[in-house]
Amino acid sequence: MSAGNLVLTGSRRLGPGGVEIGPLALGLWRFTGTDVGQNAALVEAGLELGMNLVDIADVYGLDWGGTGFGSCEENLGAVLRARPDLRDRMVLATKGGIVPPVPYDSSAAALRAACEASLARLGTERIDLYQVHRPDMFTHPAELAGTLDGLIADGLVGTVGVSNYTPAQTRALAAHLDAPLVSTQPEYSAACLDALRDGTLDLCSETGMLPLAWSPLAGGRLLAPRSDGGVRPELLATLDRLAEREGVDRAAVCVAFVLAHPTAPVAIVGTQQPERLESLQAALGVQLDRNDVYDIVEASEGVPLP
């Protein structure tokens, strides 16, 4: 019997000696509404709850009813112009490098132009964390490193990270960068354990990079009723059993699972409903021990561990 709570609820740091980040972050992929007051209320609700990392991307707005590339950043820019006090309270993270329909372009000219366009849409002088959204396998990492170091040297960007990179791609980029890669952003949830298995979280253990887990509720699929959403019913049953024991809802257990890895991932939650942000905070009171997290892994993978 292994005792001990594995859920890590303290603040994280963005790089060695870097700024403090709450264990939950606010994701704005679905930030497509255009009511500035409502949008500001969502961002403020997140900040009040300690979700000070705000994650967005230039490409957000192409789906979820958005009006196109850049429109979620424009919506956030409108909030920041109306409420500059909110900008001061957040660690602003955005991404570039997805260029539909190419689909990826991290060449020097394209990525610098993407970053400058993000700054203009967001109406800010500096992006705190600039992330390469997906690897452009046809840009040499030395060229990309030069671009990222240049953005930092010119003061446009505070720190840099990657997203959806393999560990080998991450290492190749890091080898050419002067600046540290402070974060990597993989999909990670009870329904998507790839980062646990493919070396991404191991690389975070090795280098101190902060894992920023996207879609910690599998984009809502983990909240679907038993038969919907394409998630194994055994996994939903395990999550519900733990939720009942802990006196919380299933979503809180899902977030707690993400926080339970020893690299202290940040869970980037994507709800657009302020009251749901509050109930997700219940994850910080959930206790999961080794038995619980391995039960979740086995139920997720559908096979007993050897």
Ligand X SMILES: NC(=O)c1ccc[n+]([C@@H]2O[C@H](COP(=O)([O-])OP(=O)(O)OC[C@H]3O[C@@H](n4cnc5c(N)ncnc54)[C@H](OP(=O)(O)O)[C@@H]3O)[C@@H](O)[C@H]2O)c1
Known catalytic residues are 60
Q: For residue 304, how many other CB atoms are within 10 A of its CB?
A: 7
The answer to whether 279 and 250 have CB atoms below 8 angstroms apart is no
| Nearer to ligand X among residue 55 and residue 295 (C-beta) | 55
Residue 294 C-beta: closest distance to ligand X, Å: 22
Distance separating the N- and C-terminal Cα atoms of the chain? 17
- Which residue lies nearer to ligand X by CB, 2 or 38? 38
CB nearer to ligand X: give 55 or 292.
55
The nearest distance, CB 265 to ligand X, in angstroms, is: 12
- Other Cβ atoms less than 10 A from the Cβ of 40: the count is 17
Residue 87 or 214: the one with the smaller Cβ distance to ligand X is: 214
Amino acid at 147: T
Residue nearest to ligand X (CB): 270
Coil, helix or strand at residue 267? strand
Minimum CB distance to ligand X smaller for 208 or for 219: 219
Measured CA to CA in angstroms, residue 217 lies from 191, 192, 238, 243, 257 at distances of: 8, 10, 15, 14, 10
Whole-number minimum distance, CB 118 to ligand X, in Å?
14
Two tokens, residue 296: 């979740």
Burial of 80 (0-12, 13-18, 19+ CB in 10 A): buried
Report the interface residues with ligand X, using CB under 6 A.
27-30, 55, 163-164, 185, 214-220, 223, 251, 268-273, 276, 280
* Nearest distance, CB of residue 140 and ligand X, angstroms: 22
Query: Alpha-carbon Rg of the chain, whole angstroms?
Result: 19
Segment (H or E) for 130: strand 127-132
CA-nearest of 270, 212, 221 to 250 is 221
Give the CA dihedral 130, 260, 254, 27, nearest 10 degrees. Answer: -10
- For residue 305 the two structure tokens come to 């561990």
Q: Measured from the CB atom, is 118 or 272 closer to ligand X?
A: 272
CA distances from 233 to 229, 295, 296 (A): 10, 13, 12
Minimal distance in Å, beta carbon 40 to ligand X? 17
